[in-house]
Every structure is written in C-alpha cells, then in structure tokens.
Structure 1
C-alpha cells in the first residue's frame, strides 16, 4: 500500500488507488487484507478508479482500541475524503455487511454493492451457531490463542477438518494468525448473524446485491432478501460462481453498475 490517511480516532489506514473513472472503495471480508481485493481492482481499473485498503488491524493499517463498528464506518469516511469526497462502495462477505451499515448510518456514497453477505436467517441453526462462535472466538482471542481462533473461523465457513489441519502446517498459517484478532471485528460487523432489516430499510442509495449460482441456497436467499429490503435494491446471480467469486466474472457487473 503506497498511500496513508488517518481516521477520526487517529488510526492510520493504508490504501492504494488504480485506474480512472468513478471512484469505488473495495472492502474485504474476514481474514483478508486490501491485497486480497487487488485482482478485482485491476479488473475494474479500465472503467473505475478502484481503491483498496487494509481494514484496521490488518496489513499496513493500525488498530486503536477499543473496537467499535462505528470506527470502521469512520475509516470509510476518511478514505472517501482522502480520494476526493465522492465514492461508491463495494464489500464482499462480512465486508459487505460493513458497507451496508455504513450507508445505513448516513455515510455519503453514490452507490453500494455487496457480494454474498452471509446473513444466516435461512441456514438451519444459524443464529445459535453464530452465538456459539462468538463466545468461543472471544475466549480464544482473550487467551491469546490465535491459531484456535483461526480454526474456529475456518470451521464456521464449512472447511473440512483435514483441510484445516493442512492449513496449520502451511507457510500461510503465520499470516492468518497475524490477522486473527480482526476476526472479532468481522463478528461485530455481522451483529447477531441475521439480516438487519430495519437498518437496510433506511439505506437511501441504490444497492446491488450479488450471489453466486453455485453457492449454497441459504446464501443466495440472503443476498436476494438484501435487495428486496433496501428501497432501491437490485439482485443478480452469477452462474457457476461460489463464495470465492472470480474477478473476471464479477468485475464487469460491478463496473456497469458503478458507471451508471
């Protein structure tokens, strides 16, 4: 990240900008940094001015305690000011939940788009699962057991146990443990894990909610209900895509939406 700005509480935020056109700030999900969004930024750069950044507690950005979701909304406001004061927002997974909360709380944004925010209303036992995860995650982090916190998250995503143990032995594990404390941030952004209908109904800007056609049905249903709940919502399905969406497939859809 070659640029820095400062959020309202003094937290330093690292970001970079690529391309020309309408400005779009890309918000990563759990266990991710701004670099995770770089391939999508590159795909957008022909039609948009794409901004990627390290959310607080990750990569080149700072992390000023205590954490509150409102501080991450202030981070987006600081970034918007830093890149010219006129931007749209895109968020993937729990980063999408942050985008929706930001525009619901009054952050100035031209438009907003999200990809598969994992609200668990239609996942059997979703709310109870979220409550158990929250308790175990906070305990593991409070005790400094970062590796256990990462394992909890990977199990929440449905990753097979043998793959989790394989990941623990891989060179990438140290990097995953480094950002493990930010899992609590994403958990806070997701609230109780259910669709925040009253908040979504207050969103004043157009919202595009996208899902993958090969993703679980409960996730597609949540994405559709986001579009149905916000006043100016549109729902799109990308056939053959999963939660790990391909930038070459998602990029043109976002570029068309943000260029309107």
Structure 2
C-alpha cells in the first residue's frame, strides 16, 4: 500500500536503461490469421519498459528477505530463494504478479496516449513479459520458470524480439522447443558493456549510424548506441528451431531516457 503513490506517479512511463518507445514500420510477408492482419506494411508502435520503481522496490524487499531466511555460503548468497510453500513465498508470488500487471498497464497507457494523439486505429496488439517467473509444466511436473533476458516461446505463443534503435525487431511465434524451456532470446543482447560503449563510441559515430538508417532519436546515451549491441540478424539465424518470424519491424523514431541511467 505504501507504494501506491509511486506507482501512480510513474504509470505510463518507460524508465531508464534500455527501455524505449519506438514508432516504425512493420512488414508482414504474408497474412497472419491469428492477428487477422493482411500481408503488407503498417505503422507500428513498439515499447519496452518494466514495473518501474514499484517493481524495483518489491524486488529489493523480497531479495533481502530471501537472503535473511535462506542462508547460503557467501559465494552463493545471491541464489537465495523463498519457498512457495511458505507465507513469505506466497506473498512474494502475489507481489511479483502484481508488478507484472503494473508493467502491462504502463505499456497500455503509453500505447493509448500515443495512438490517440495521432488518431490511429489499432489493428492488433502483442505483448509479452520477460524478467519474470511463470508456473509451467515440464516433463509432467509443475515448475517455476524464470526467464531472465528470455522471451516465452511456447507453441503458438506470440512474442517480440527487438534489435537496437537502428536494427530491426521481430514479431515471432514460438515453436514450443522443450530443450530451450519453451524460450527464445529477448533481444539482440549486448556486444559491449555500458562502460565500454561510453568509452569507445563517439557522438559523431552515433549521429552517423542514425543518419544512415534514417532514424530520428530523442534522448539516449552512448551506452545505448546501436554498435553496443550484437547483430540481431545473426541472433535470429541462430534460433530458427525456437521461433517462426511473423513480421519484421523497422524503427524510425526512437525515444529513450537521455541520462544513461540503469533500467528501473
């Protein structure tokens, strides 16, 4: 309850780090029956953000609680956990899911505000969580699957795999590959740490690549420069057994926090 004010104040915001809001063009090579979208090119809005300070506070509180309850050797202290058969575990599970719902609400508010501002008609919407935990059945047993930096890719499950501010993102459909725990990559992944990117990439480098790709950028630090990320096309080529590509998204206008802050 004491987080209500913070949650309300940050509702509909993206936060820092690699969180973004992008307008672009999405290309469907063929009709998709699930989304009821015909073959063609469409204006699309893509957002990446989380549960903001609300979720971060929840995570911090229960991480400390887990370390207090689950005593592990120093080298394994960050692997502390809460048993779901305890009151603390159930309390965290409820709080985590509430944070997930809040993150979803943030996306919904951002999308509604922007589509209303330009008078757009929404034809389809796809959303997926990451950095989250799910109850799933694997090999006939109910387990908790934590996808850190991974996208759910169960059979028929729609997902989004972004590249960078100048590289394409992909709308995908999962194939349900059990050996990958029904998961695929969350994005391209970093090629450089934030520190290395800031030290090795110049503002002129950034401006040049944005110009080459005809991308308008608002905000963002050098730590989020396209060169700091892996080649998304190579990443996608490495996981054809995990997902099918439904459509390709090309970013054209990108908004990010401009202070190089950590994601929240």
TM-score (normalised: structure 1): 0.27
| Structure (1/2) with the larger helix percentage | 1
- Over alpha carbons, which structure has the higher Rg? 2
The higher-RCO structure (CA 8 Å, 6+ apart) is: 2
Query: Would you tell me which structure has more strand in proportion to its own residues?
Result: 2
